Chains A and B, each alone.
Chain A
């Protein structure tokens, strides 16, 4: 049961973003820029960062949601499974491995990011902008994960829910102009 009254048809983050739309707007805009805006990292790569950080924070709602989004963008489910188990053996580029390592360090603490992991990323061709965005995406998901779990929101267990959510967020993170009443159970 959530700690505050949230709409039942909107579990996890979705109910929180409708509960307080004035704080939701900058959070949505930031997410849109970072995960869907122009970038030399693909949308799937950025979703992998979100997945790894949410998994590190043991936030099941966010992990399931961004795993589903990355799976949809990649067209397969093996990569998300592998990065959650072991970044170093996952089927991603060396540059992505180094960025996911930085993201995991940010998940622990800003101070946990090492000079070595930054140098590693630069050697593998990561640009300053890619490193910046990796750190900020990881930091943003430390916000999301705490927001979702700190208010004890509901985590659906039906994979179909996350499939539907992935279809929506693959298109973007802005609020739907018509709102979310259409998601109420018939």
Chain B
């Protein structure tokens, strides 16, 4: 059911894009783009500020290796960091290489035996998706910046290294498409993942697939006047949106889906892009006993103090010859 809704939602966005184009023309696209981006920025900042506003009362890193203790025991500087540089390393591995996901295994039962086997496809697909996505985003800067930064040109050149076809076929395009297809198929086919998948999961994937498909189409199939696209994009960036030459429905779909997805980010799980930096189980050093962590809302609690305890058990303490703090025999409890 969630899948159907997601397909419906993405379809609706596409129809809206086309309808908007017919009714409002390119001005409509500009409005959608501005709105999407504004919601994204404001919402993203709001969410991060909301997280930052909540304190981290306790230092609770998940330790994934040997602690730093005795000097002759080698500690796991990255898996269980006790220093800031170690934490930076751990976060770097986590964010750039998806360290934790790389640990993934698959549990299977075979005649009462639990077999834990390697399972690296999810890691591979996730890494492939995110990196190709980053490459594609950076490549898109050629449409938003004039003159085009040399770095972007160089990246595009590497990405189009094979010089297959015209225009050059980009490796990142194919990697992204394959990774997205795998991630979606996985949600459909793996019974466990299907069980846990929700509207948000399908919607994000389908929107991305829609964006990728319309983008690929503009580049390789239906084609688009890239100069006009850049004029339009620069106009947006300079806050002087221009009415460009007709860019076609595919462009409208592409940009509308992006805008909708961007606006959706702050309200969805896609906030993991910011959240991954703030996870207290990963971004804190395991130096708990070496350096005191302060809880800003630490408050006094009702305890059972030694004096009360001694009062409770005075007679028994005395009988057992356990040293006492104060010897008020008369106040000895009956306990």
Whether chain B is bound by chain A comes out as no
Q: Chain A: residues with CB nearer than 8 A to chain B?
A: none
Q: Chain B: residues with CB nearer than 8 A to chain A?
A: none
